[in-house]
Amino acid sequence: MIRFIWAEDEDGHIGYQGTLPWHLPADLRHFKDLTSNHVIVMGRRTFESFPGLLPKRQHIILSTSPTLQRKYQDNVHVQIFSQLEELKNWIKHHSNQTIDIIGGRRVFEEFMDEVDILEKTKIHHVFKGDTLMPEINYGDFKSVNSEIHQADEKNKFAYDFLEYKRIEK
């Protein structure tokens, strides 16, 4: 099963200069709860935005960087694919488990036709951003869960956790 997990602002921004444009502790906790003990798939820039390896997760990275490949060649928690077709083949052979795709834009685009579940955090604010989430045809999905949250002392912006499942054809 392939699942997209991301947060976006009111304009659809998912990033700015290689980082998240916001700090929302509830979304970070939600992300951790969703992805712990799962495979997370991402591009190099998404991976480099982390403070380090995320605990209790297998990191799968799409990157042609030889430096990154050398750095993690002996790390059992990281696997790097330089070719998209190799990554797609690996995912196909691991389809019995949840594969969480977490960004960036290009990785989301490449798996748009194969995603089964969407886990979106919608942040009710507009931020300065340079990376947009690709267009999703929500007509192919049904809403199965939504949690609406107001801003509070820890989370400066109102936000919603939204879950969608692909409609069976």
Predicted pLDDT of residue 169: 64
Average pLDDT over residues 117-126: 98
Average pLDDT over residues 23-33: 98
Predicted pLDDT of residue 168: 83
List pLDDT tens digits, range 51-71: 999 999 999 999 999 999 999
List pLDDT tens digits, range 78-119: 999 999 999 999 999 998 999 999 999 999 999 999 999 999
> What is the domain extent for residue 20?
2-166
- Give the number of domains in the chain: 1
Give 9's contacts (C-beta < 8 A, 6+ positions apart).
21, 22, 123, 125, 126, 127, 129
Predicted pLDDT of residue 37: 96
Average pLDDT value over all residues in the chain? 96
Instruction: Output the domain CATH number for residue 96.
Output: 3.40.430.10
Amino acid at residue number 143: S
